[in-house]
Chains A and B, each alone.
Chain A
């Protein structure tokens, strides 16, 4: 466990604030994006911004930088989630019973 002798308080302190500013800027971007750029792809744009924010939080606030083992495990979990997404999305996109399905349009 690190002790007070090897904590570089000043630079870490500044680091926290810098990341905060970055996150605030990105949050602002979140708000102006739908009216400014990529307006047809709001969803994708929002998720990309979210991913950048998440990356910053993970690396700097959660100190994941340099954690090889934990990082690899994290990548593995995200990979699994991605696989679940891909397979389920393949399934929905090839749904064959849309015409007779009850759930895709409200029954009157």
Chain B
């Protein structure tokens, strides 16, 4: 048995003997990615539990299980965890770390110690976020109740623990910046010889575009949060209308980051889709360059559309018109990607394995999420739908049905790579269907409820909305069952699954050409010379083959 990255590692400080300390101090990108996954999913389940609690409360009008204040804290906790602790580190932190260096034939990221430091910064951020749950004076829950957006001036006046939450968001932001920085340098410097930008796998393109958003947008929100903290401590007045500050400016600055942040979530997810579709269609991807460049242009245009969150905030009409116009533009590169994926599948030998199922499911759910997004990009429509459940359903379709679904797709796709084992396909497929059906039952009724006027962030509602909330509740039950089942299948697969072999999917990119499975500590035995495109299939068979020294033999 050759040694894998589970057996040995490099450490940031010294060479500790104990396995536990080796994990804590590891600088290996694969181990760090796994640890991110473990922490992220723990928080994911905490936030799902909070969401379930909200769904229970919303089952009937009136207060049953929690009062209004608790509900406010509940959706803030849910939003803060899902956004800052789960989905913003998200795919880059897990698969960007584990898979991206493998895909470009690197031994590790450019700054492995910085990577280690970043992970621990993330942990510190998580701890600070959790600490703001509690009010240390009387032992009650006292999480921020502002919503995850911290809008001024309410966030400046509320008595809940907003400061710690802001500090946590700031620290998590720094971790995100450093991740992006590390990946940018890695992609620029450590590509295998011969691999130019247009020979990179598309997932790497997604990570690259994302990293630019992490790097350049996050500082803006960082400073905004700092100003809000200073406001609370010293009353500098910047966002406080009683001193001449403009709360709308807070919204501008907040969304200058947070809107690009949603592309930061979706771009690597699109990257996963672009990996899975060609592999399971056994065809070269259609329009490689257009997919790659559309990632870049989504990132670019994504910087210019933040104002569509401010349509009802008192922004000037001219600015609204500009933002509405720019927002439509984002749909264009996204559409290009969709057509490319569909065209890739056309006349392909489609293999309906679990990752492909997830990818196809996402094409449905994300299309709904994306198209409803276009509807609320129109100023007139949005005046009606702003802050209703229509918007909430839209972003759950986009984030949960887009990003998280593709994250799951990636989990199934790279599972054999990371663990060396295979999960049970049949059970994994059942789990997919539970999730897919549950998800749609959970969120589709909310479009209707929102359209009819159900406002978001309310713990109570008029009786006519009850039917939608009840359907939604049962959807949540199915969905959460599906989630639990999926993780069960994966964990069983890891514990008891059969060995998967090096390349179970007959994929072409470099991460499937490792010497052993799971991969050894320093990845490829030899770095290959890359003079081929990432997805070369001929009659449904991969073209490029390597010998054990990573020399091409086809």
Contacts and interface: CB of A to CB of B under 8 A. Distances in A.
In their complex, do chains A and B touch, with some C-beta pair under 8 Å? Answer: yes
B241 A103 contact: yes
Interface string A67-100: 0010000000100100110011011111111000
A87 B307 contact: yes
A96 B321 CA distance: 14
A33 B318 CA distance: 37
Interface in A8-39: none
Contacts of A88: 249, 252
A102 interface: yes
B256 A90 contact: no
A106 B322 CA distance: 31
The majority secondary structure among interface residues of chain A is helix
Nearest to A92: B316
B304 A87 contact: yes
Given A80-B303, A91-B319, A97 B241 contact: no
Interface string B235-276: 000000110111001001000100000000000000000000
B15 interface: no
Interface in B279-332: 303-304, 307, 314-319, 322
Nearest to A106: B244
A85 to B, nearest CB: 11
Q: How big is chain B's contact interface, by range? A: 20 to 34
B223 interface: no
Nearest to B256: A84
B319 A97 contact: no
A88 B216 CA distance: 18
Nearest to B318: A94
B317 A94 contact: yes
A22 B419 CA distance: 61
B188 interface: yes
Nearest to B315: A91
Interface string B211-252: 000001000100000000000000000000110111001001
A84 B303 CA distance: 9
A97 B313 CA distance: 11
Contact of B316 (A84, A95, A106): A95
Give the size range of A's interface with the partner. 10 to 19
Nearest to A88: B252
Given A77-B216, A88-B252, A94 B245 contact: no
Contact of A83 (B244, B249, B304, B318): B304
B319 A94 contact: yes
B219 to A, nearest CB: 10
Nearest to B323: A87
A35 B188 CA distance: 50
B316 A91 contact: yes
Contacts of A95: 316
Contacts of B252: 88, 91
A103 B240 CA distance: 9
A87 B245 CA distance: 19
Given A69-B188, A77-B216, A102 B319 contact: no
Contacts of B314: 97
A57 B249 CA distance: 32
Nearest to A83: B304
Q: Which of B242, B303, B316, B318 has the most CB of A within 10 A?
A: B316
Nearest to A69: B188
A77 B303 CA distance: 11
Contacts of B318: 90-91, 94
A107 B241 CA distance: 10
A74 to B, nearest CB: 11
25 contacts: A80-B216, A80-B303, A83-B303, A84-B256, A87-B304, A87-B319, A87-B322, A88-B252, A90-B316, A90-B319, A90-B322, A91-B252, A91-B315, A91-B316, A91-B318, A91-B319, A94-B316, A94-B317, A94-B318, A94-B319, A96-B316, A97-B314, A102-B241, A103-B245, A106-B244
Given A88-B249, A88-B252, 10 more contacts: A77-B216, A80-B303, A83-B304, A87-B307, A91-B315, A91-B318, A93-B316, A94-B316, A94-B318, A103-B241
Interface of B: 188, 216, 220, 241-242, 244-246, 249, 252, 256, 303-304, 307, 314-319, 322
